[in-house]
């Protein structure tokens, strides 16, 4: 099992790859998303990831992610499958593992000076809608003053061609986003998702580490929704990012 770490984060955490699990076929092998895989295999994969951080499987808390900007402040754990609809969660409660599932979107992990932690699922929709700002606000309500951030493996600009409609939507919500679109073929652009997320955090006074791994380009280590779509494949898995208070 392989997990990448960010030097900036003092809390226990890991950006896990697709390696080290029990799933097969298009989900091989550490698929942590329940969407189409065998649930028993996904549970085992999730348990392995949480165990790598020294916690039991029941410590993992996940969300029903919808590419929005809602954030949940966790005060008590919930059962598997009962997570709320949201795209970020924060906690100051020790012994919990906050989990974010991705397959090209950016997993963003946050650690505060008072021991509180957060995790956010930041695709372009959620980032433009303010999910990162919402997570930081929630951490500050828990007493955080200094916050460290890391943007984990996600799709990078060289792999992320988008149309004019998407560019217009992002620019419509955020006038400062234009610099993160580079011209591609006519009517299309290359979008820098991790750079855009880092910029949003930077406006809050938070300097984020960007891990260099491109999920779409690195098939050996990562699942990728964009790669699956380009190939016309029927399914793909999801990797998990975890952080513990």
Average pLDDT of span 223-227: 98
d(CA 103, CA 236): 8
From residue 215, alpha-carbon distances to 18, 41, 218 in Å are: 10, 22, 5
The total number of structural domains that make up the chain: 1
Residue 216 has pLDDT above 90, yes or no: yes
Q: Could you tell me which residues come within 8 angstroms of residue 226 by beta carbon, excluding any fewer than 6 positions away?
A: 104, 155, 159, 160, 216
pLDDT at residue 117, as a whole number:
98
pLDDT at residue 47, as a whole number:
98
Range of the structural domain that residue 74 is part of: 3-244
User: Nearest CA to 236 among 224, 220, 245?
Assistant: 224
Is the Cβ–Cβ distance between 170 and 177 less than 8 Å? Answer: yes
CA dihedral sign of residues 142, 32, 68, 182: positive
pLDDT in tens, 126-151: 999 999 999 999 999 999 999 999 99
Residue 1 has pLDDT above 90, yes or no: no
Largest CA distance in the chain: 51
d(CA 73, CA 201): 19
Residue 113 has pLDDT above 90, yes or no: yes
The CA-based dihedral angle spanning residues 123, 20, 109, 238, taken in that order and rounded to the nearest 10 degrees: 20
**pTM for this prediction:** 0.98
Determine the Cα angle at 48 with ends 216 and 1, to 5°: 50
d(CA 151, CA 196): 11
Could you tell me the CATH number of the domain that includes residue 231?
3.60.140.10
Strand locations in the chain (E): 3-4, 13-16, 60-61, 71-74, 88-91, 97-102, 106-112, 117-122, 147-151, 161-163, 181-183, 188-191, 208-210, 239-244
How confident is residue 169, by pLDDT bands cut at 50, 70 and 90?
very high
The overall average pLDDT reported for the chain is 97
Percent of the chain with pLDDT over 70: 100
pLDDT at residue 103, as a whole number:
98
pLDDT at residue 189, as a whole number:
98
Q: Could you write out the DSSP letters of every residue in 24-90?
A: -GGGTTT----SSS-HHHHHHHHHHHHHHTT--GGGEE--B--SS--EEEESS---TT---B-SEEE
Residue 102 has pLDDT above 90, yes or no: yes
């Amino acid at each position: 099992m392989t997990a990448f770490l960010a030097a900036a984060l003092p809390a226990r955490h890991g950006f896990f790859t697709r390696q080290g699990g029990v799933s097969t076929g298009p989900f091989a092998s550490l698929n942590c998303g329940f969407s189409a895989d065998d649930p028993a295999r996904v549970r085992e994969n999730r348990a392995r990831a949480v165990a790598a951080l020294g916690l039991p499987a029941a410590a993992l808390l996940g969300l029903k992610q919808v590419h929005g900007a809602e954030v949940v402040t966790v005060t008590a754990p919930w059962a598997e499958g009962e997570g709320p609809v949201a795209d970020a969660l924060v906690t100051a409660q020790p012994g919990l593992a906050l989990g974010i599932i991705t397959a090209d979107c950016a997993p963003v992990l946050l650690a505060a000076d008072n021991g509180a932690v957060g995790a956010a699922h930041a695709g372009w929709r959620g980032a433009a809608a303010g999910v990162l700002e919402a997570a930081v606000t929630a951490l500050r309500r828990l007493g955080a003053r200094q916050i460290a951030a890391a943007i984990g493996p996600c799709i990078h600009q060289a792999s992320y061609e988008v149309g004019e409609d998407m560019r217009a939507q992002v620019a419509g919500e955020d006038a400062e986003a234009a610099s993160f679109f580079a011209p591609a073929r006519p009517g299309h652009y290359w979008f820098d998702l991790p750079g855009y997320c880092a910029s949003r955090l930077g406006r809050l006074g938070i300097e984020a580490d960007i891990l260099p791994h491109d999920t779409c380009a690195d098939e050996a280590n990562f699942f990728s929704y964009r790669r699956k779509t380009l190939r016309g494949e029927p399914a793909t898995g999801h990797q998990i990012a975890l952080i513990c208070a």
